[in-house]
Amino acid sequence: MIQPSMRLTAKQAAFCEHIAAGKTQADSYRAAYDASSMKDSTVWARASELMAYSKVAGRVEELRAALAKKELWTRERSIKKLIKALNISKKDRNASGMINAIKELNAMHGFNAPEKIDLTTNGESFKPMIITVSGPAGGDNLEKATAILLPKKHLSTENL
Give the domain ranges of the chain. Answer: 4-70, 75-108, 120-159
d(CA 91, CA 70): 33
Residue 157 has pLDDT above 70, yes or no: no
If you ran DSSP here, which 8-state letter would residue 119 be given? -
- Per the model's pLDDT, the better-predicted residue between 139 and 93 turns out to be 93
Residues 27-80: pLDDT tens digits? 999 999 999 999 999 999 999 999 999 999 999 999 988 887 776 677 788 888
CA distances, 145 to each of 136, 148, 149, 151, 154 (Å) = 11, 10, 13, 19, 21
Instruction: Specify the pairing of strand 124-125 against strand 129-134.
Output: unpaired
DSSP 41-97: HHHHHHHHHHHHSHHHHHHHHHHHHHHHHH-SS-HHHHHHHHHHHHHHHHHTT-HHH
Mean pLDDT of the chain: 77
Provide the pLDDT confidence category of residue 7 given band limits of 50, 70 and 90: confident
Residue 120, SS3 per DSSP: strand
Residue 145 has pLDDT above 70, yes or no: no
Residue 6 has pLDDT above 50, yes or no: yes
